[in-house]
Amino acid sequence: MVPLSRIIMLKNTLVNFYKKKRLPPPLNNAPRLSPAHYPTPRRAHRQFRPGSPSDFSARQVQGRVW
């Protein structure tokens, strides 16, 4: 008989794996699960300056276009 803790551990790993698979990568202006991920407007002002070469940097794709 397999111990119950082992079964729970396997189930959790599977659930986490499928959760990661199903979530699409966040697009610009995409609504997030929690607003805590958004950069604050003060921080974002330095990061995403429209018209700059880093306009489509990875940081902008992950954050929000202001």
Counted domains in the chain? 1
Instruction: Give residues with Cβ within 8 angstroms of 27, minimum separation 6.
Output: 61
The full length of the chain comes to 66
Label residues 8-46 b or e (16+ Cβ within 10 Å = b). eeeeeeeeeeeeeeeeeeeeeeeeeeeeeeebeeeebee
Domain range for 13 is 4-62
| Distance separating alpha carbons of residues 40 and 64, to the nearest angstrom | 10
Per-residue model confidence (pLDDT) at position 2? 78
pLDDT (tens digit per residue) in 51-66: 555 445 555 455 555 4
pTM of the model: 0.29
pLDDT (tens digit per residue) in 16-35: 877 766 666 555 555 555 55
Per-residue model confidence (pLDDT) at position 22? 67
Per-residue model confidence (pLDDT) at position 26? 58
Per-residue model confidence (pLDDT) at position 36? 55
